[in-house]
Amino acid sequence: FGADRTLFFIFGATGDLARRKLFPAIYSLFREGKLSERFAVIGLARRPRTNEQFRDDVKHSIEEFARYKSEKDHNWEQFAEHFHYMSLDINKLEQFQQLKTVAEQLDAKFDIGGNRLFYLALAPELFGSVSYNLRDGGLLETEGWRRLVIEKPFGYDLPSAEKLNEQIRQVFQEEEVYRIDHYLGKEMVQNIEVVRFANAFFEPLWNNKYIANIQITLSETVGVEERGGYYDHAGALRDMGQNHMLQMITMMAMEPPSRMEPEDIRDEKVKVLRSLRVFHSPEEVARHVVRGQYDTGEMKGKPVPGYRDEEGVPDDSATETYFAAKVFVDNFRWAGVPFYIRTGKRLPVKTTEVVVEFKNMPDNVYFSRKTKLEPNLLVFRVNPTEGIYLKMNAKQPGSQWGIVPIAMDFCQSCEVGINTPEAYERLLYDAARGDSTYFTRWDEVALAWRFVDRIESAWRDHSSELHRYPAGTWGPDAAQQLLAEDGFKWWPVN
């Protein structure tokens, strides 16, 4: 079913996220008929802007970033008239009262029925005061539903996340809060559960009897760009580990939910997070987690600066731009199976892949052939290529004894005509339909912080080794060691 009638309030409407992701997403939904005519968007930011200027901004953003372009054959005017702008100082309650009037007018004009979606594309420090002003300005007194969509980072550690959550919860119910983790909006991350639960030849093998290890790589070629100020306080573990990587672990490890309903799925994911082995001592952290920071190096033959030379980064920064970890899900299904995860900036390729390495078959039957059997692999290619890859063993054609690995490679994003929706498109659509499956619930966030905080505090208090790696390489050797000591290796990524 399509999205409900919705009045979108985009806070931070002149910012990067709105321009790159949100406006293009709304446009694609409109073009695909997923958004009814009964919607409106109020862009909110401090900067003064007329409706016309704002609609021009939206148009440019769509031309630059959308899957569909605003071509002449489409009725642009009809779309643009749903967009309105209001300059707003989020600390001024009286301006929220004015916003209420504007909202009521648009609601009546487009027959929206009082449904309100507040998207805060803002720094998290502002979530609390915006929520209070929404309430005190009377914006929540409506006949329809109201939902709050917020971006990461959700806190800096567990205590700060709790504080943030308390502020929000003074105004919104948990069911009304949609916390974005854009990795959950990615097609292939959503596909993990289908591949697992809809295929007879995976789910029966999905446990410690048949799976040797699981590897998740999320590599980026970019450095910190102009985000040095934010990033240096966060680091790779908070920026990518606490959210995207732990979320992918939950998708891989969760039990089949009794029904494919948001709360049932999220309940199962929470159980995984609860089973994560928390590292208690600095020694445990040092044994299981490697951290690195990029130094000067080369990307595609061109020299690039080291992290400490980036804008907004102190010369002696000890922030990690890379981490690799060996994680355990201590439950019945996964006992003894390592989940190896790694992510970093300035690595050789941009890719996200999840690899399932199956245990070796007894190879005594083939022993006399002096062939070493390669393990079976199942790979989810998440980004930028979307697909599924299976590696299995077969007879080498024409040979008498040879066994070779063969590949079955399904490339979804290569198929002509498939133009898969962007993550933000899917998530905005879900939020407007009231489907919270692919948003993170508070207990997930809290448990993820519990896991991360232990590592952060060991790093802080015991200054464990920070490995410098040249930009353009696969990160510190210690990350290879993490697997080698278990008799494994990182599988090369696509």
CB of 289 to ligand BG6, least distance (A): 19
CB-nearer residue toward ligand BG6: 88 or 184: 184
Nearest CA among 23, 32, 30 for reference residue 55: 23
**426 labelled binding-site residue:** no
CB-nearer residue toward ligand BG6: 44 or 188: 188
Residue 427, C-beta contacts closer than 8 angstroms, at least 6 positions apart = 178, 180, 182, 184, 185, 438, 439
What is the rounded distance in angstroms from the CA atom of residue 14 to the CA atom of residue 49?
10
**182 labelled binding-site residue:** yes
CB-nearer residue toward ligand BG6: 4 or 239: 239
Amino acid at residue number 48: P
Amino acid at residue number 203: E
Nearest CA among 155, 332, 297, 167 for reference residue 234: 155
Phi, psi of 340 (to 5 degrees): -100, 125
CB-nearer residue toward ligand BG6: 153 or 256: 153
CB of 46 to ligand BG6, least distance (A): 24
CB of 406 to ligand BG6, least distance (A): 30
**350 labelled binding-site residue:** yes
Q: Mapping DSSP to helix (H, G, I), strand (E, B) and coil, where does residue 61 land?
A: helix
Amino acid at residue number 84: H
**16 labelled binding-site residue:** yes
**46 labelled binding-site residue:** yes
Q: Name the token pair of 6.
A: 């919705």
CB-nearer residue toward ligand BG6: 250 or 352: 352
What is the rounded distance in angstroms from the CA atom of residue 256 to the CA atom of residue 279?
27
In 180-331, beta strands by DSSP E: 211-219, 289-295, 297-299, 302-304, 322-328
- Chain centre to alpha carbon of residue 151: 10
CB-nearer residue toward ligand BG6: 383 or 436: 383
CB of 165 to ligand BG6, least distance (A): 19
Element (H, E) at 194: helix 187-197
Measured CA angle at 200 (ends 492, 342), to 5 deg: 25
**13 labelled binding-site residue:** yes
Nearest CA among 187, 174, 326 for reference residue 245: 326
Task: Point out which residues bind ligand BG6 (CB under 6 A).
Answer: 182, 220, 239, 352, 383
Nearest CA among 193, 211, 199 for reference residue 356: 211
CB of 90 to ligand BG6, least distance (A): 23
User: What percent helix, strand, coil does the chain show, rounded to 5?
Assistant: 40, 20, 40
What is the rounded distance in angstroms from the CA atom of residue 161 to the CA atom of residue 169?
12
CB of 454 to ligand BG6, least distance (A): 22
C-alpha torsion sign, points 137, 120, 230, 480: positive
Q: Name the token pair of 440.
A: 């993170």
What is the rounded distance in angstroms from the CA atom of residue 433 to the CA atom of residue 430?
5
**287 labelled binding-site residue:** no
CB-nearer residue toward ligand BG6: 182 or 326: 182
Told to judge if 244 belongs to the known catalytic residues of this protein, a careful annotator would answer yes
**82 labelled binding-site residue:** no
Closest residue to ligand BG6 using C-beta atoms? 239
Contact 288, 464 (CB under 8 A): no
- Chain centre to alpha carbon of residue 233: 19
Nearest CA among 248, 215, 209, 200 for reference residue 333: 209
CB-nearer residue toward ligand BG6: 319 or 383: 383
**461 labelled binding-site residue:** no
What is the rounded distance in angstroms from the CA atom of residue 222 to the CA atom of residue 188?
22
Which residue among the candidates 233, 244, 288, 467 is catalytic per the annotation? Answer: 244
**186 labelled binding-site residue:** yes
Q: Give the bridge partners for 339, in sequence order.
A: 214, 327
**220 labelled binding-site residue:** yes
CB of 367 to ligand BG6, least distance (A): 43
Q: What is the largest CA-CA distance in the chain?
A: 83
**How long a stretch of residues is the chain?**
494
CB-nearer residue toward ligand BG6: 37 or 226: 226
The annotation places the binding site for NADP(+) at: 12-19, 46, 89-90, 152
Residues at the binding site for substrate are 182, 186, 220, 239, 345, 350
Question: Which residues are identified as catalytic?
Answer: 244
Annotated binding site: 12-19, 46, 89-90, 152, 182, 186, 220, 239, 345, 350
